[in-house]
Structure 1
């Protein structure tokens, strides 16, 4: 296997480097290629003519809370504190959770299974309360397959996974989205920002009520918006030619026992999905698995006739068939065997904003608007999905990877394959391109269609990319990373820039996910170079801000989970997201928090006191607190400020005073503003001095929030600093970054 640096990288301008400062010049690309992504402007334009958005589903509305860190010194904070009766550390929620993030990323790249049901099947399911038909019924249960799923890798070793799942999609909707005919596509990044805004409103909407008199305040904690943002970002990327994660691995073709001509209907559905008007675009490989399902109505039809029909299906279409027995009546909450349907985790931003997953039926829904199913129906659906995945989809993918690895990849790795690659690159031999003239030193001389901007599915470049994606979805990251490395030079030679960017992105992700590749075996310089090339191609050559943001966000989270020096590289790439303007105002604050989390997670080796980045983490937490306050969320600002105090508790002197008075003034002003706005949000009236009559106990609350004798009420101070002034206070060394000036305070 070649190293990540063997391929000739695309060299962007030197200023696009992860080592440059936070306030470096934004003109890292030529002026004509400068990415112009204004999420806030698009969001404001979309809101101006839109109707009130429906509430979010309960999946994103459940926000756990956390409290102050028990590991810091006894610093009595004057910011609102959190309840400590039964809560954990705030650093566990914001600075930890690496395994949860890794699991989220792994589950995001799951096999896609298209669902194409007949009209009679959809009608049967609609009677049960699911307006989306058969696809909507089975979609939530496919996200986690019950039981362990055993997968074999390329060398024959097996491993069991308990969190494996698939992504069920509507075949008709997949065809429209893949062909670019979706009328409501819009700006996906603006939709993500609007989902975050809605989530903040629903999370803090219950915090504005007054608190009973003289009751000890149990302050709410910061909501885990980072997971929501990452989940929405990974759900926002549609099916595309340059990657096959959104292409169907299998297709479920379903009919019901009510159908008058069942076998003819199955053949018709197959023909329509393969060669008819509803077939997928040419860049989708049509050789995916077909799985046939017969839905039997337990209450109206005869099981004997359905069993005979099922036997005929197996004789005509093979063993990839299933008999699914469901009750046709709608389940109500009062039934003894009623089971609530789980919420979909992977709803796209557009689905969130359009209210998908919310209450659409008219009778007998649960308290949160979710439908119910009979327990027998749930067991039948889970058994069907497990049989589909374990006995059909996984073996099909393993077989395809083995065949492609033997017939295509092994030839490319051999001497003859390398000779043909060099010949095609330099002399144009073996070229089948529709345009471009091969010649020494470059030119499009491969199989890339420069007019339609994709490879045909039967070309070696498309097969190798599909093989790498299959290996990634089978969680064989070693084979995936080596395959991505092998095809990167071909994409660069053919000037297939989106393929080129995607190969760099997924090579980094698969390398960092591989548990067998220890940190010492991965050179951070190679990882940074691949992230740089991928992001540069996405933004400058393809103008694809969504995939560029996904590339950077995945690099940030996976580098942070590696620990050590990789956390600083993760922080620098998080700063690039803010520099490029890829996120809106809320996303900007979230990435400020991620920078703080990256620096806070860096621990010195061997228990040494030097090497930690607590000052930098505290600085970014303070900046995030200021931005939350400006955005009108004092609760989140309070939590960020509290975390900053715990981070600074280990690096400041015993009195907790900053050496530079300007910074101390800024921090005190921000502390007072957070306290005042938080109390006002809770229904208290904040004053510079407590009033004589204090029926609500504001004086006692203020004393509890301000016990350090060196802190004063700073209402009316003339010198109000902002984050911009904070970044340039007390510069001591002209070679230091502006961040380090405040970090050393």
Structure 2
């Protein structure tokens, strides 16, 4: 731990113990992206750069992709011409590993940023109105190069996708009060506005750029946007420490008249001043001191001398960052566009889109530009900070806590004390300490948290550190220790969080053999976590996170776990945790879960293609209901392809089902043609690729009433019709030997 120990008046602290479209940039510096194939391109938020206030132009949409299969259709039923929509049958990729990596990266160490006023002013001159934090924030999301991390048994592993989250300790990014938890409704609003602002069959095509032809992606890119916003929604809370600062960057510039005194004052502000953390967060964490040198105005020799003084006063956790203070423009030869910020909260996303819709100056489009030398310097700062300071600090803390706290808790004496507190009250200090309600006497029921130096708080911090260091085995065993303690103390939010993270850590462990992996324990932990979140805490955001992550990680296990993944995804829909767009995305994910369940080699049973096709039909009907016929067409095509594996000649044996599918296809075509002002007559034979210019027809859909869902309505092509069951009733999906229990399980 680095503190200004040799520089009074501040006393050093004691040792800390117990795609949617991407920006088309001409820059040489590549934008941040996942290592996934192109079809799983991220939905990088249009009109949002590294901060919510900077809109960006969009380019071509990625191809839609949702299912892992790539067989051609045997169905003889007519299809919409796909030349405009770009057929999703080419190059399918399910993306389970990509989403698994996305989940792991979402739990990254938080690093606070607190800069002096002169430093923020220097950076504002470069075009970053929020100062130093805004400048370095996007560069922390993907640390350059491979980082080697040691686990609790001493083995090392290299990671190339590691990152940190820079949070603003000045109050603009991190909620000091611990309130401000964002709701699932904000995530739903992000999805709705994203659809409206990007797809040409929505009301908006973007005020800052000409309307252009784009391709329509399947749900997977939009679903990844949903995951990112959901995993970015949580603010700092007492029951988990992922958003508590592991370290903080304290920055001054070479313009500062009293640099050392300014560093001491900044340290004092974050330790016991107006920028200190709440009572439930440990105030002592690693400090990293940065001197920002102005290359255009100041003398590097003087800055180097000052930097040497900083290292003598504050230790080795220091860095000299050399930046140019002049603003870079796109016409400069060495200009590089600032990378987009991946982890934006829903409110930041909505703020960015709102500001984008009101801007008219096309010159303000896109994030600011940086000189190539600035980019190299910032990337060097981030790598040195993470590789030489943050990770070693976290590793040492985990080792100390594991030896001093966790080992005692796992021993016989620790178990005996836990049982005594639970059954006899032995060792409880609640009466003497004035803290009521908890069996251990450490939980404050009035304020709802453990003190940072309590054993339960230390163990939770240790488990979160192990998780962020990707030592999932140690994290799971530590969460397991805490589950009973939190339950005994009736600390229900802590109790739910421990069950949730224990299940997630277990699912993220390397895949064991099927005989050793039991799903029953996982199901119990997920169910307990959701019950506590919803019933005892009224925390819908964390309940949705728990169910969503459980579904994705179970799906990545394959085999029988895919059906459990579908069941937990249905649970989120039944609980009303997602809105209309979220319901559609979850329907498509359920279809993907069933599609990934394949039959044993040589067997004619065991696959779930009929169930996958049924949920794709439900998704197609719901896309049509909200006025997205292009996406409904793609979901319908998915359903037909699944049914082609189990139906003869693509014909349903039940006439009512065949009638419903034919009517759905008919309505999708009519909706699509109406949205473009084309003839909707039955003799319409012109391919959709020959549609009129999208600039003339892109906003017509919003000027008419959307059609009602076909679910539960009589089919217009058959007087008998078909009333297909809703997700609350009994459904069917073709000729199956066994009863279809898809809707019963919902």
What TM-score results when the alignment is normalised by the length of structure 2? 0.82
1:134 Cα offset (Å): 0.1
Q: 1:132, CA displacement in angstroms?
A: 0.8
| Alpha-carbon offset, residue 720 of structure 1 | 4.9
Is the alpha carbon distance of 1:647 and 1:145 closer, same or farther for their aligned partners in structure 2, counting shifts above 3 Å?
same
The match for 1:671 is: 665
Judge conservation of contact 2:83–2:689 (CA < 8 Å) in 1. Answer: no
Q: Which moved more, 1:571-580 or 1:171-180?
A: 171-180
- Tell me which residue corresponds to 2:559: 564
Pair 218,114 (structure 1): closer, same or farther in 2 beyond 3 Å: closer
1:724 corresponds in structure 2 to 725
Q: 3-state DSSP class of the match of 2:601?
A: helix
Paired position in structure 2 for 1:255: 252
Residue of structure 2 equivalent to 1:220: 216
Secondary structure at the counterpart of residue 626 of structure 1: helix
Q: Does 1:156 align with 2:177?
A: no
Answer yes or no: is 1:431 the counterpart of 2:431.
no
Does the C-alpha gap of structure 1 residues 493 and 740 become closer, same or farther in structure 2, counting only changes over 3 Å? Answer: closer
8 Å CA contact retained: 1:175, 1:278: no
**CA positional deviation for 1:496:** 0.6
Per the alignment, residue 409 of structure 1 pairs with 406
Partner of 1:4 in structure 2? none
> Structure 1 residues 306, 356: closer, same or farther in 2, change over 3 A?
farther
> Secondary structure of 1:296's partner?
strand
How far apart in 2 are the matches of 1:421 and 1:696?
70
**Deviation of residue 352 (structure 1)?**
0.7
Matched with 2:325 is 328
Secondary structure of the corresponding residue to residue 322 of structure 1: strand
Contact 1:81–1:642 at 8 Å: present in 2 too? no
Name the SS for the 2:250 alignment partner.
strand
| Structure 1 counterpart of 2:338 | 341
Displacement after TM superposition at 1:664 (Å)? 1.4
Cα distance change on mapping 1:108 and 1:411 into 2, 3 Å: same
Aligned to 2:63: 65
Deviates more, 1:514-523 or 1:100-109: 514-523
What is residue 32 of structure 1 aligned with on the other side?
none
The 3 A distance-change label for structure 1 pair 406 and 648 is same
Contact 1:552 1:573 in 2 (8 A): yes
1:608 maps to which of 603, 606, 625: 603
Q: Residue in 1 aligned with 2:170? A: 172
The alpha-carbon deviation at position 719 of structure 1 amounts to 4.7
Confirm or deny that 1:739 pairs with 2:742.
yes
Structure 2 equivalent of residue 596 of structure 1:
591
Distance 1:175 1:490, change over 3 A: farther
Secondary structure of the structure 2 residue equivalent to 1:323? strand
1:530-572 Cα offsets, whole Å, 9 max, x none, are 1000000000000000000000000010000100000000000
1:379 aligned to 376, 381, 386, which one?
376
> Structure 2 vs 1, CA of residues 192 and 720 (structure 1 numbering), >3 Å: closer, same or farther?
farther
Structure 2: tracts of 5 or more residues without a match: 1-51, 205-212, 692-714
Change (3 A) 1:356 1:395: farther
Alignment of 1:200 onto 2:195: yes
Aligned residue runs from structure 1 range 653-668, under 5 A: 653-654=648-649, 656-668=650-662
Q: Distance in 2 between matches of 1:346 and 1:104?
A: 11
Aligned to 1:107: 105
* Number of residues of Structure 1 aligned to a counterpart in Structure 2: 660
1:660-694 superposed Cα distances (whole Å, 9 cap, x missing partner): 22211111111111111122223421113449x99
Write out aligned runs for 1:273-672 (5 A): 273-355=270-352, 368-433=365-430, 444-654=439-649, 656-672=650-666
2:19 is aligned to none
Structure 2 counterpart of 1:127, from 125, 128, 137: 125
Between the aligned partners of 1:305 and 1:65, the Cα distance in structure 2 is 54
Contact persistence 1:124–1:328 (CA under 8 A): yes
CA separation of 1:610 and 1:594: change in aligned 2, threshold 3 A: same
Residues 734 and 577 of structure 1, relative CA distance in 2, 3 Å threshold: farther
Structure 1 distance, partners of 2:454, 2:572, is: 35
Structure-2 residue corresponding to 1:92? 92
TM-score if structure 1 supplies the norm length? 0.82
Q: What SS is found at the alignment partner of 1:376?
A: helix
Checking the alignment, whether the CA contact within 8 Å between 2:584 and 2:622 is kept in structure 1 is: yes
Q: Structure 1, residues 245-291: CA drift from partner, whole Å, max 9, x if none?
A: 00000000000011111111111111111101221101111121000
Aligned CA RMSD, in angstroms, stands at 3.5
C-alpha offsets along residues 382-409 of structure 1, whole Å, 9 cap, x if unaligned? 0000000000000000000000000001
Q: Does 1:234 align with 2:237?
A: no
Look up the SS of the partner of 2:193 in the other structure.
helix
SS where residue 142 of structure 1 aligns?
helix
CA contact (8 A) 1:457 1:463 kept: yes
> Is the partner of 1:252 in helix, strand or coil?
strand
Counterpart contact for 1:231–1:346, Cα < 8 Å: yes
- Residue 66 of structure 1: CA displacement? 3.8
The 1-side partners of 2:407 and 2:363 are apart by 55
Deviation digits for residues 284-305 of structure 1, max 9, x if unmatched? 1112100000000011111111
Instruction: Please say if residues 80 and 219 of structure 1, whose CA atoms lie closer than 8 Å, have aligned partners that are also in contact.
Output: no
Superposition deviation, residue 695 in structure 1: 13
Change (3 A) 1:379 1:175: closer
Question: Partners in 1 of 2:363 and 2:508 — Cα distance?
Answer: 39
Q: CA deviation at 1:445?
A: 3.6
SS of residue paired to 2:597: coil
Q: What secondary structure is seen at the aligned counterpart in 2 of 1:645?
A: helix
1:544/1:730 CA distance change after superposition, 3 Å: closer
Native 8 Å contact 2:88 2:218 kept in 1: no
Q: Is the 8 A contact 1:477 1:510 kept in 2?
A: yes
Partner of 1:47: none
Residues 5-16 of structure 1 correspond to what in structure 2 (within 5 A)? none
Equivalent residues of 1:435, 1:449 under 8 A apart = no
Residue deviations 1:329-362, cap 9 Å, x none?
0001111110111000001110011118988999
| 1:67-91 C-alpha deviation (Å, 9 max, x unpaired) | 7964234434423253499976468
Q: CA deviation at 1:175?
A: 8.4
Give the whole-Å Cα distance in 1 for the aligned partners of 2:419 and 2:122: 58
Cα distance change of structure 1 residues 196 and 429 upon mapping to structure 2, 3 Å threshold: same
Residues 329, 335 of structure 2: 8 Å contact kept: yes
What does residue 675 of structure 2 align with?
681
Task: Name the CA distance, whole Å, in 2 between partners of 1:665 and 1:370.
Answer: 51
Comparing 225-234 and 199-208, the one that deviates more? 199-208
Is the contact made by 1:117 and 1:255 (CA closer than 8 Å) also made in structure 2?
yes
Corresponding residue of 1:118:
116
Which stretch shows the higher mean deviation, 720-729 or 360-369? Answer: 360-369
